[in-house]
């Protein structure tokens, strides 16, 4: 392969083509994060990368498929134990279809990943004989149910996903992977033409044409080749009618319309590109090239210029891991992902060039023990276009201002010793052009290129007196501030004077105000003003600042104010009134320790601090802080290390180099944030501190930052939180946030009913993070396992962010938004789970209690009540995401489940009300309308299961309010009639009605929307408790009524037995005696007495039966069965009709109420009497048994005869059926009579047993 490289270059030079002239050397500001196997990546060679539509990154390696959620990696590998696992270990390429599913090509098959099921399905490759074959597969495009892919065995194929049918597009074109070609880059261009990457050609295919000339060949030996000779094609990329080709000799630009081919072979003059492994575009006119030796190159198509990102040194963490880049991928947020094979992935964010930074380019042979990038002082010589920098331990360096090349360096080592110390702390250029060098071990002066060391022998402690912190120029002398006082040196003679000021003080600052007046900073003792009239033979001291360490100071342009940088903040000192004012972190400073101050031409202060650079607008009294993303060399800067050039350019030195910039070029926004995330805060509630609008025409898929129309649509939100009620339109929210500390925040939308949430985090006018959540996406995709959408957002300190949320929901569009620290969020989640656990535990216990109560009393209203409670609990579980979290994930039921449960609970509440309040007796006129209303609810619920529109929410709310009106009418009617059972029912309904009304009004955005779940929770718990009390009260009243009735029955039974029965007995005896007396003499009279006797005996029997039924002691007796049997035997035997009886064993022990027992007996008697009188039957079968039922016991009585039968139409016309039906209704059952002439009669009675 290397032998082809010179041939390729030669071909470009001699084939009439030419090399493209370049503009070189752009500077990029960027941030790099590395992810390797140490962080969970399965393997370091990454062939495929993709950010899916939900914001999740996928990486294909030689050892499986990796998914990265922003925190950790999950790896998919083939498994024999998992039938729906991925087929293939070496991931070749990844694409996404319009449904959000992924198509993954491996060394052996084509795989489809369903994000819903979190499973893979395999599409096998077949050879020409139809046999399954292992083959490298590269998916190209997946859309409209079709997948285009390339396989080594089949060629170019179009697959119908639904039917599995394949259409072979190009069978004969081969592609073989190699060291250079690891991925087939076949792809469609913007015009829909397919550019095919084969081993020996580039082919352009018009997939819509059906002509023979729909194929064009380039860079091949094909007879129809249209342009270019064969070359080593590594990757291809069509962009705006230009095909860009990665080759072994650089980047090729192919204008296929004009057949124009150009080679770009250098990224800087004299620096060849050589091998380009991969390329991608950021959609902003830039190509990103991964090279074999020179790192990552950005090529601007418009300016034809390069910028480079490379590994630059062992001290810099913000580096490419290595300079060999095998794969490049630019995601839709503009973040660049590169594979530094075999070490994993580098994630690169391009940052705005707000504050350019540079470091001293130490030569390779510079002693490693001296190497330190910390710059202590800076001076720029405009005339010579040179920058002089004193360093921490690397000496003094002079650089060319234009290209930052080294002109001269001074440092002490074994071979030379030009400086008192390699730590240069201060530089001062005096009025004579001499440069004074203050170090940690003495003073030196520099004239031209010569340095002269000057030792201070005056101080009592030579270590302290030679540790120079500050140098100021006076009329005759240079004044030195040291760790051991103030010293003077004649700047002409370069000799130390004998006088020493404040020898016991540590001097941090000296500034001449005017002749005889000086400001002196004393360590931890503030700022002093020294005044003298005799050149310090005597002087007076007054304190300007009482404590702290003054480090720097500048006089304002109008000379009215001194700005003083101290260890405790920025101090404003008024020259006129001598008053001070302090600014600290509470006012927006990134840190209170201020190292240097410069004032620009607009009177803005620029401060270097212990946490970055800040700009202070003196008119608006506002700080703007800058951070690493703005290009800071590091957060920490050095005292006194600043310089302002005559043209206004500012320099600030820090621990990792120098920042240089023109203040007017700094475009960092200075918007007023909606809220600030402070260092000490662990929870921030956003409330209504954001802007929003409804996207009525669904125009925007992503924030359009450069579109003023888009930004102007955002308006302040009302109420306590953004609340848009019910709408099928997307809602956009925007929050401007100032973050004051490097930390990760968790942003929670405390509404689990939001179907889709798209998050976009914007920093410095570019999207740095995007993510999708909501219950339309599988729960397993949630990084934080909670039903509420929770996003992880990494923020750096002193950075302004704009956060956009695009939200869609078929339910209520409310947005209570919180920012949390992780520990606080997890505690809040735990507390919520405890509260909901108590609630659902309460529901369970109520259901269990009422179920066991039903087993005892068999009250049908209890069944409806239990079902109502269960459905209402289901409503709550759906509303607050528990079904989504634990049961059905991203099911279609997330849209409508709450309405289905609401409607069904309403349905059961209706029938509970009918049974519990005995509406059939107390308010019969309402039964039919209420039943039709319940049927309408049931039909609506069934419709919801098959078809759902967002406005169904309004229909369900309307149905619920209709139920409330019905209940209000019932309560009014019962109270007006003083039916006491209504009171507890009314209280229960009032509690849930108030809660429901409040929630509905909150959802409709009529009242503030916070904490709606607790209203419904408390209201439903009160309702359930009150209904349970009502059941207990009803049971207690029933028992009292039963006791009263039993006493009354005893009294009536006794009276009947003692009075009426005795009288009837006397009447019978009297009639019988008179019958016998007149039998012979007056037969007619005897016959009358006989009838009286018979009738009195019958009355006696009926009275005895009544006494039997009225006696409470017989309530649990089984004798009622025997009486029925005895009656049947007597009646049927008299007609010589055979009786066959089948009575279940458990019938005898079954208790019946007096009312049921009597009506059953009368029903039975009437049926037997009719058979005996009219049937002419020879046999009667009677079957009495229990019927199994879910909710209550039912009895069934069958009476069948083989008589002559009758026409049932006549029965319907007469009173016979009506009598039977009335008896059945009084039993709470139904009767069915079937008969035909000559085929006998069957009477079937079913009734509920109580």
Q: By C-alpha distance, which of 1177, 1185, 1184 is closest to 1235?
A: 1177
Q: Residue 1148's pLDDT is what?
A: 64
Q: pLDDT tier at 172 (50, 70, 90 boundaries)?
A: low
**pLDDT digits 0-9 by tens, 1218-1241:** 677 777 877 778 888 888 888 899
**pLDDT digits 0-9 by tens, 35-81:** 999 999 999 999 999 999 988 999 999 999 999 988 889 999 998 88
**Is residue 638 predicted with pLDDT exceeding 50?**
yes
**pLDDT digits 0-9 by tens, 1155-1201:** 777 788 788 888 888 888 888 889 999 988 887 665 566 788 899 99
Task: Indicate the range of 86-90, 472-476, 1103-1107, 1246-1250 predicted with least confidence.
Answer: 1103-1107
Q: Residue 678's pLDDT is what?
A: 86
**Is residue 345 predicted with pLDDT exceeding 80?**
yes
The residue-averaged pLDDT of 1037-1065 equals: 66
Q: pLDDT tier at 969 (50, 70, 90 boundaries)?
A: very high
Q: pLDDT tier at 24 (50, 70, 90 boundaries)?
A: very low
Q: Residue 1105's pLDDT is what?
A: 64
Q: pLDDT tier at 1216 (50, 70, 90 boundaries)?
A: low
CA distance 840 to 844: 6
Question: For 688-750+758-820, CATH number?
Answer: 2.60.40.2380
Q: Residue 1128's pLDDT is what?
A: 84
**Is residue 785 predicted with pLDDT exceeding 50?**
yes
437 phi and psi, to 5 degrees?
-115, 110
CA distance 1180 to 1128: 10
Token pair, residue 1203, equals 């008589």
**pLDDT digits 0-9 by tens, 217-259:** 999 988 989 998 888 899 999 999 899 999 999 999 999 989 9
CA distance 290 to 270: 19
Q: Residue 22's pLDDT is what?
A: 45
Q: Residue 1108's pLDDT is what?
A: 60
Task: Indicate the range of 441-450, 590-599, 1010-1019 predicted with least confidence.
Answer: 1010-1019
333-336 long-range CB contacts below 8 Å, 24 or more apart? 333/51, 333/766, 333/767, 333/768, 333/769, 333/770, 334/282, 334/283, 334/284, 334/766, 334/767, 335/768, 336/280, 336/282, 336/288, 336/296
Q: Residue 7's pLDDT is what?
A: 40
Q: Where are the chain's structural domains?
A: 4-351, 688-750+758-820, 829-1038, 1058-1110, 1118-1250
Task: Indicate the range of 325-329, 385-389, 1061-1065, 1115-1119 predicted with least confidence.
Answer: 1115-1119
Q: pLDDT tier at 18 (50, 70, 90 boundaries)?
A: very low
Q: Residue 627's pLDDT is what?
A: 83
- DSSP SS3 for 1099: helix
**pLDDT digits 0-9 by tens, 738-784:** 888 888 899 999 999 899 999 999 988 888 889 999 999 888 888 89
**Is residue 9 predicted with pLDDT exceeding 50?**
no
**pLDDT digits 0-9 by tens, 714-724:** 999 877 788 88
CA distance 569 to 616: 13
**Is residue 315 predicted with pLDDT exceeding 50?**
no
What pTM, to 2 d.p., does this model score?
A: 0.76
Q: pLDDT tier at 398 (50, 70, 90 boundaries)?
A: very high
Q: pLDDT tier at 16 (50, 70, 90 boundaries)?
A: very low
Which has more pLDDT, 791 or 1225?
791
**pLDDT digits 0-9 by tens, 825-872:** 999 999 999 999 999 999 999 899 888 888 877 788 889 999 999 999
Query: Would you state the CATH architecture of domain 4-351?
Result: 7 Propeller (2.130)
The residue-averaged pLDDT of 489-509 equals: 93
Write down how long the chain is: 1250
The residue-averaged pLDDT of 890-902 equals: 88
Q: By C-alpha distance, which of 640, 635, 482, 659 is closest to 553?
A: 640
**Is residue 554 predicted with pLDDT exceeding 90?**
yes
Q: How far apart are the first and last CA of the chain?
A: 95
Q: Residue 412's pLDDT is what?
A: 95
**pLDDT digits 0-9 by tens, 116-145:** 888 999 998 888 888 888 889 999 999 999
1118-1250: what CATH class?
alpha beta
Helix 1012-1055 × helix 982-1003 angle, to 10°: 160
Taking all residues of the chain, what is their mean pLDDT, rounded to a whole number?
87
CA 620 vs CA 539, 616, 764, 802: distances in Å: 39, 8, 21, 22
Helix 1119-1134 × helix 1154-1170 angle, to 10°: 10
CA 892 vs CA 778, 898, 943, 947, 1151: distances in Å: 11, 12, 14, 10, 49
Q: Residue 353's pLDDT is what?
A: 66
């Amino acid at each position: 392969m290397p032998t082809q490289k010179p041939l390729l270059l030669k071909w470009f030079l001699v084939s009439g083509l030419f090399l493209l002239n370049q503009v070189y050397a752009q500077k990029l500001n960027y941030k790099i994060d590395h992810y390797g196997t140490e962080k969970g990546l399965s393997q370091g060679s990454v062939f495929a990368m993709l950010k899916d539509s939900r914001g999740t990154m996928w990486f294909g390696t030689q050892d499986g498929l990796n998914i990265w959620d922003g925190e950790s990696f999950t790896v998919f590998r083939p498994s024999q134990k998992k039938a729906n696992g991925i087929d293939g270990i070496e991931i070749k390429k990844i694409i996404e279809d319009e449904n959000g599913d992924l198509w993954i090509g491996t060394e052996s098959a084509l795989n489809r990943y369903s994000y819903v099921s979190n499973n893979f399905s395999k599409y096998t490759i077949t050879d020409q004989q139809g046999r399954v074959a292992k083959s490298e597969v590269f998916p190209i495009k997946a859309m409209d149910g079709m997948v285009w892919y390339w396989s080594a065995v089949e060629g170019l194929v179009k697959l119908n996903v639904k039917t599995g049918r394949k259409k072979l597009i190009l069978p004969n074109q081969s592609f073989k992977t190699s060291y250079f070609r690891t991925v087939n880059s076949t792809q469609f261009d913007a015009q829909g033409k397919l550019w095919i990457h084969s081993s020996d050609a580039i082919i352009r295919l018009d997939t819509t044409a059906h002509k023979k000339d729909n194929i064009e060949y380039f860079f091949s030996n094909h007879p129809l080749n249209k342009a270019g000779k064969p070359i080593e094609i590594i990757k291809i990329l069509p962009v705006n009618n230009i095909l860009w080709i990665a080759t072994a000799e650089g980047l090729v630009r192919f204008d296929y319309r004009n057949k124009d081919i150009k080679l770009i072979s250098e990224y800087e003059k004299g620096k060849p590109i050589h091998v380009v492994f991969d390329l991608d575009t950021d959609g902003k006119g830039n190509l990103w090239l991964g090279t074999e030796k020179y790192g990552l190159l950005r090529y601007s198509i418009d300016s034809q210029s390069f910028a480079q990102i490379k590994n630059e040194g062992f001290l810099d963490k913000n580096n490419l891991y290595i300079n060999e880049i095998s794969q490049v991928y630019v995601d839709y947020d503009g973040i660049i992902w590169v594979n530094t094979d075999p070490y994993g992935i580098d994630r690169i964010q391009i940052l705005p060039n707000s504050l350019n930074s540079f470091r001293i380019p130490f030569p390779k042979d510079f002693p490693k023990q001296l190497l330190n990038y910390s710059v202590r002082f800076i001076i720029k010589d405009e005339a010579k276009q040179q920058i002089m920098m004193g360093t921490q331990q690397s000496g003094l360096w002079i650089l060319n201002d234009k290209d930052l090349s080294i002109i001269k360096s001074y440092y002490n080592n074994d071979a030379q010793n030009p400086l008192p110390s390699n730590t240069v702390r201060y530089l001062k250029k005096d009025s004579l052009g001499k440069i004074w060098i203050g170090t940690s071990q003495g003073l030196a002066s520099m004239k031209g290129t010569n340095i002269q060391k000057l030792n201070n022998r005056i101080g009592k402690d030579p270590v302290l007196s030679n540790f120079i912190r500050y140098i100021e120029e006076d009329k005759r002398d240079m004044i030195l501030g040291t760790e051991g006082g103030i010293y003077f040196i004649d700047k002409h003679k370069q000799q130390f004077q004998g006088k020493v000021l404040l020898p016991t003080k540590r001097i941090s600052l000296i500034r001449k105000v005017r002749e005889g007046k000086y400001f002196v900073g004393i360590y931890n003792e503030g700022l002093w003003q020294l005044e003298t009239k005799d050149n310090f033979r005597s002087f007076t001291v007054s304190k300007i600042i009482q404590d702290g360490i003054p480090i720097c100071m500048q006089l304002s342009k109008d000379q009215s104010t001194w700005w003083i940088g101290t260890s405790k903040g920025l101090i404003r000192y008024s020259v006129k009134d001598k008053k001070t004012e302090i600014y600290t972190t509470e006012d927006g400073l990134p840190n209170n320790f201020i190292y240097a101050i410069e004032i620009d031409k607009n009177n803005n202060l620029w401060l270097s601090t212990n946490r970055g650079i800040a700009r202070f607008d003196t008119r608006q009294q506002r700080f703007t802080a800058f951070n690493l993303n703005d290009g800071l060399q590091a957060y920490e800067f050095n005292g006194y290390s600043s310089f302002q050039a005559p043209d206004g350019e500012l320099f600030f030195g820090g621990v990792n180099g120098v920042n240089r910039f023109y203040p007017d070029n700094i475009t960092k926004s200075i918007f007023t944030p909606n809220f600030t995330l402070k260092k000490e805060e662990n929870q921030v509630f956003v409330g209504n501190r954001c802007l929003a609008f409804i996207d009525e025409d669904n125009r925007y898929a992503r924030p359009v930052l450069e579109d003023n129309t888009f930004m102007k649509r955002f308006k302040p939100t009302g109420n306590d939180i953004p609340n848009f009620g019910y709408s099928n339109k997307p809602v956009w929210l925007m929050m401007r946030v100032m973050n004051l500390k490097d930390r990760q925040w968790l942003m929670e939308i405390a509404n689990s009913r939001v179907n889709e949430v798209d998050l976009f985090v914007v920093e410095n006018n570019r999207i740095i993070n995007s993510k999708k959540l909501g219950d339309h996406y599988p729960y397993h995709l949630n990084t934080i396992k909670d039903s509420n959408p929770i996003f992880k957002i990494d923020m750096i300190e002193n950075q302004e962010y704009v956060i956009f949320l695009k939200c869609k929901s078929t339910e209520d569009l409310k947005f209570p938004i919180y920012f949390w620290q992780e520990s606080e969020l997890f505690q809040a989640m735990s507390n919520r789970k405890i509260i909901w656990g108590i609630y659902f535990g309460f529901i369970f216990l109520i259901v269990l209690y009422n179920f066991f109560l039903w087993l005892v009393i068999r009250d049908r209203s209890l069944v409806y009540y239990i079902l109502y409670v269960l459905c209402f609990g289901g409503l709550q579980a759906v509303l607050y995401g528990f079904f989504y979290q634990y049961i059905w994930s991203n099911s279609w039921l997330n849209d409508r489940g709450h309405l289905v449960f609401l409607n069904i609970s309403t349905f059961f509440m209706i029938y509970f009300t009918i049974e519990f309040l005995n509406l059939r007796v107390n308010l019969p006129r309402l039964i039919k309308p209420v039943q039709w209303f319940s049927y309408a609810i049931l039909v609506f619920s069934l419709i919801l299961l098959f078809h759902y529109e967002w406005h169904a929410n309004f229909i369900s709310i309307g149905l619920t309010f209709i139920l409330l009106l019905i209940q209000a009418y019932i309560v009014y009617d019962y109270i007006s009639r003083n039916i006491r059972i209504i009171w507890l029912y009314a209280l229960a309904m009032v509690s849930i009605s108030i809660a429901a009304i409040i929630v509905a009004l909150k959802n409709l955005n009529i009242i503030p929307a916070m904490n709606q779940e607790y209203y419904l929770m408390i209201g439903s718990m009160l309702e359930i408790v009150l209904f349970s009390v009502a059941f207990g009260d009803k049971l207690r009243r029933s028992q009292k009524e039963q006791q009263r009735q039993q006493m009354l029955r005893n009294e009536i039974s006794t009276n009947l037995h003692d009075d009426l029965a005795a009288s009837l007995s006397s009447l019978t005896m009297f009639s019988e005696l008179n019958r016998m007396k007149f039998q012979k003499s007056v037969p007619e009279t005897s016959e009358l007495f006989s009838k009286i006797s018979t009738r009195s005996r019958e009355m006696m029997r009926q009275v005895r039966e009544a006494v039997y039924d009225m006696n409470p002691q017989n309530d649990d007796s089984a004798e009622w069965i025997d009486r029925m049997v005895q009656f049947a035997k007597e009646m049927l035997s008299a007609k010589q009709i055979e009786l066959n009886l089948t009575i279940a064993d458990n019938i005898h022990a079954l208790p019946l109420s007096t009312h049921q027992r009597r009506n059953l007996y009368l029903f039975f008697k009437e049926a037997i009497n009719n058979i005996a009188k009219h049937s002419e039957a020879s046999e009667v079968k009677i079957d009495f048994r229990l019927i199994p039922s879910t909710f209550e016991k039912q009895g069934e009585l069958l009476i069948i005869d083989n008589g002559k039968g009758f026409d049932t139409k006549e029965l319907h016309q007469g009173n016979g059926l009506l009598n039977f039906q009335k008896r059945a209704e009084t039993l709470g059952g139904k009767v069915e009579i079937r008969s035909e002439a000559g085929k006998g009669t069957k009477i079937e009675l079913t009734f509920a047993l109580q």
